[in-house]
Amino acid sequence: MLDVTKSLPKDPAELRAFTALLLAEVKSQAVLIEKLRHQLAGHRAHRFGASSETAEQLQLALEMSEIAIAALTAKLRLPEDTPADKPKRKPIPDHIPRVEVELTTGDTACAQCGGKLRRLGEDVTEELEYLPGRFIVNRIVRPRMACSGCDCFTQAPLPTRPIERGRPGPGLLAHVLVNKYADHLPLYRQSQIFERDGRDLDRSTLADWVGKSTALLSPLADAIGRHVLAGQAIFVDDTPVAMLAPGTGKTQTARLWAYGRDERPWGSAVPPAS
């Protein structure tokens, strides 16, 4: 716990370190509050609610909380959990096929002195990817090259990835997002499907991926929203939905609002969007 009575440091480096510690504390408190809230709702559901339906609603509510926390972490660039707080990553199973991609700088001579480059070793990054119907692992191999005439060192940079220091490839992230938002398949069910394929992907892990993906896609969503709302005619749909309120055994009315723009019937070349 942070000492709130401690005076703020004046050194810029110390102030940045203190700010990072404060943001980490805020995140941990938010996570703790959400966990306690859902634990309380679970106890109430166990005593008063219909077990099957309420349990599924609790799963969905917990998913939304975990996704929101991951999205907030990505947007505010909050520090990740410390190694002591994070569960140890399980290795990607050996039975999943590997597709090896070697990245090199293409240089055979040192850029500094012209000496011949020799291979010292390599860095290997494994990225879990999904192709329709099957998993693969992209083995990104980056040889480390050193000049025989001087101390120059060269290596190809690691390609940009959707989630930095994360394992999922863009195809796997797209598969999870389409399953959840287009096919209405909750993350805990996706986790069960992946488990049948021999891949242990916990619901909380999938929620973290979805949250960070939504933060990554938010500029695109905002741009589409501005395009839709700039139309001269906007189509709007309001759909009331009965939603279970976790822990109460009752339902409450939720509303889904959809906005659409389509000016093609009036001869406009502006692309439709919703």
Mean pLDDT of the chain, nearest integer = 80
Asked whether the predicted pLDDT for residue 2 surpasses 50, the reply is: no
- pLDDT digit string (tens) for 174-197? 999 999 988 888 899 999 988 888
Residue 52 CB burial class (10 angstroms; 0-12, 13-18, ≥19): exposed
- pLDDT digit string (tens) for 25-63? 777 777 777 667 666 666 665 665 555 555 666 667 677
Neighbouring C-beta atoms of residue 27, cutoff 10 Å: 18
Write phi, then psi, for 109 (nearest 5 degrees). Answer: -125, 150
Cα(260)–Cα(270) distance, rounded to whole angstroms?
13
